[in-house]
Amino acid sequence: MLTSITKKYRKILREKAISRAKTRIVLAGRKAEEMSEEDLEVVVQEEEQKIKSEVKEKGLLAVLALLGISLFG
């Protein structure tokens, strides 16, 4: 059961990272076809790390909110 959830999480994370990477490449004025497979993988990995960081940050804020702790006063 847990491995099933983990696999699903990783799949969704990867898909979201690929989507963000495509957007990032377009905004940089490049085409994915012009980049090597290694460069594409680096961009996707960077986006995965950003997403993981955002999830951790939001999770921490949710826990603080549950405990009634505010970071803003």
pLDDT for 73 beyond 70 = no
Q: What pLDDT is attached to residue 38? A: 97
**pLDDT of 3-48, one tens digit each?**
888 898 899 999 999 999 999 999 999 999 999 999 999 999 999 9
**pLDDT of 21-30, one tens digit each?**
999 999 999 9
Q: What is the helix (H) or strand (E) element at residue 6, kind and residue range?
A: helix 2-27
Burial of 22 (0-12, 13-18, 19+ CB in 10 A): middle
pLDDT for 71 beyond 70 = no
| Average of per-residue pLDDT across 57-72 | 78
Token output for 36: 């090597």
Residue with tokens 């909110």: 65
